[in-house]
Amino acid sequence: MNFRQFAFGLTFSFGIAWLAVVIVPFFKMRNPSPVSFQEGVDENAGIYHPKRTGRLANGYEVYAENGCYQCHTQVVRNTDAGNDLGRPDWGGLKLDADTGKDTRRESNVFDYSGLDFAPIGVTRLGPDLMNVGRRVPARIRAKADPDASAGEIDGQARDWFYRHLYNPRLSPELRDWSSCPSFSFLFEEREITGERSSEALDVDAGPGMEIVAGEKARALVSYLMSLKHDDPVPASMDFSPADQSGGDSEG
C-alpha cells in the first residue's frame, strides 16, 4: 500500500462515519417536518406537539449550569437501541392512576424543540429524568392516603425534590446509599424570625434556624416537576409496549 492509498483509505473510512453519524442526522433533525395525528387511528387530532408546562427556561439553565447532565440522561432510547421502555417508569407510567393507561413511549425529536441544547446527558450514573415529574408524584401517590388531592400530591412531590436536592441522603426513606450529590448551596440557611416559615424544608437545621429553597432551587424543582414526556404521540411514531400486540417488556 502506498501513502496515497493509505491517506485515501483513512479519509474514506472516517468520512463515511462522519457523514452517517454527524452530517446526515444534523440535516434530518435540524428542521423536522410536523407529524399529524390521524383521524380514526389516534385519539387526538391536529398536529403533534409535546406539552410543556412550568417555569422551564430558568430551571433548564440551573440544570445545565450544575452539570446534572453529567450523570442523568433525558432520552428514552428507541427499543432497538436499548430496553429503556422496560425500565420502571422511565418512558412514562406502566399504569397511570388517573387514566388507567400505559403511557410509556420513546423520546422523539420534538421533545427537545425550542431548547438550545438537548439535555440528552453524558452518562447514566443516575436514572433517566425524562419522566421524573411523573414518576416521583406517582411514587408518592402509591403510598399516600387514597383521598389525597392532586394538589396535595404535587406539593409532597415538590418537597421530596427539595429534600433530594438539599441532601439526597436525608429523604425520609433514609436513602443513605444515594450517590447523587448534594446541592445545598442552592438553599438558604436563615434564622427563624417569629414563626417557622411554612416553606421551610422538613430538615433539622439546628436551634433557631431553618432552611428554605433559593430562587434557583425553586426554578430547578419546577423544571424537574415539568419533566413529563409521556403524552400520546401519533400512531406513526408510536412503538410503545402498550401498542404492541402481546408481549410485555418489563425487565
Binding site for ligand HEC (CB under 6 A): 63, 66-68, 70-72, 125-127, 132, 135, 164, 168, 175, 178-181, 183, 220, 224
CB nearer to ligand HEC: give 36 or 182. Answer: 182
Residue nearer to ligand HEC on the CB measure, 132 or 233: 132
Q: Do 226 and 111 form a contact (C-beta atoms < 8 A)?
A: no
SS (H, E, C) the chain: CCHHHHHHHHHHHHHHHHHHHHHHHHHHHHCCCCCECCCCCCCCCCECCCCCCCCHHHHHHHHHHCCHHHCCCCCCCCHHHCCHHHCCCCCCCCCCCCCCCCCCCCCCHHHHCCCCCCCCCCCCCCCCCCCHHHHHHHHHHHHCCCCCCHHHHHHHHHHHHHHHHHCCCCCCCCCCCCCCCCCHHHEEEEECCCCCCCCCCCCCCCCCEEEEECHHHHHHHHHHHHCCCCCCCCHHHCCCHHHCCCCCCCC
Judged by beta carbon, residue 35 or residue 71, the one nearer ligand HEC is 71
As measured in angstroms, the least distance from the Cβ of 241 to ligand HEC is 19
Q: How far is the CB of 97 from ligand HEC (least distance, A)?
A: 17
Min. distance of Cβ 126 from ligand HEC in angstroms?
3
Nearer to ligand HEC, 48 or 112 (CB): 112
Residue among 71 and 200 whose Cβ is closer to ligand HEC: 71
**Which one, 219 or 220, has the nearer CB to ligand HEC?**
220
Give the nearest distance from C-beta 196 to ligand HEC in angstroms. Answer: 26
Minimum CB distance to ligand HEC, residue 88 (Å)? 9
Shortest distance, CB of residue 144 to ligand HEC, whole angstroms? 16
